[in-house]
Chain A
Amino acid sequence: DAKTTQPPSMDCAEGRAANLPCNHSTISGNEYVYWYRQIHSQGPQYIIHGLKNNETNEMASLIITEDRKSSTLILPHATLRDTAVYYCIVRDYMTTDSWGKFQFGAGTQVVVTP
């Protein structure tokens, strides 16, 4: 069963913020939320991850709800190069077996338009 649910697609205007939602209602206390993206058929690229607190880096911000059942990835100023499939992944950092099984879902196809 999928651990995360994401919308299949969304559009965003260039220069505007893109807010990508992810539901992970069955997340456990040991599971981090990760975001990766894949541009066309390139290897997926790490964006950001978090456990409880909101996180920000040079690429994006991650907002996790207080109950941890959902999160939002924010690309503050989307560019055409941000067009990609974005994956939300939950991953257990305590159990070796879960840690090793880094599982991708279907992701959200984001199209940034001029």
Chain B
Amino acid sequence: EAQVTQNPRYLITVTGKKLTVTCSQNMNHEYMSWYRQDPGLGLRQIYYSMNVEVTDKGDVPEGYKVSRKEKRNFPLILESPSPNQTSLYFCASGQRAGNTIYFGEGSWLTVV
């Protein structure tokens, strides 16, 4: 079954404690991306990757890092989380030459 899997799905953490949200896809997709969703602001793109070792900033990259060492994985790293990074995060993937992107189920992150 085609899947985009995010972990953890729910996390409460403290300010400044580094955390990583993992994203894995089993569809051999070249393209992967991270979004955050906040009330009233909709879905905003954080980073995206067109292929292994290729990453680019989206609209709200500040405070986040990503890496793409393998095709199937695209982890989102919060080096020093702050309360304003409390949000619902989505990972997505798609074929580079394709038209559809697939989303994970989301990760609820709370920073206190």
Contacts and interface: CB of A to CB of B under 8 A. Distances in A.
Q: Do A and B come from one complex?
A: yes
Interface of A: 32, 34, 38, 41-46, 49, 87, 93, 96-97, 100-107
Chain A contact residues, majority secondary structure: loop
B99 to A, nearest CB: 5
B43 A32 contact: no
Q: Residue among A96, A100, A105 with the most chain B CB within 10 A?
A: A100
Given A43-B105, A49-B99, A100 B48 contact: yes
B108 to A, nearest CB: 8
B99 A42 contact: no
A49 B101 CA distance: 12
B104 interface: yes
Contacts, number: 52
Contacts of A34: 99
A46 B100 contact: yes
Interface residues of B, number: 25
8 contacts: A32-B99, A34-B99, A46-B100, A46-B102, A96-B50, A97-B56, A100-B31, A103-B45
Contacts of B99: 32, 34, 49, 93
B7 to A, nearest CB: 14
A101 B105 contact: no
Contact of A104 (B42, B50, B56, B106): B42
B105 A42 contact: yes
Contacts of A41: 37, 88, 106
Interface in B6-48: 31, 33, 35, 37, 42-45, 48
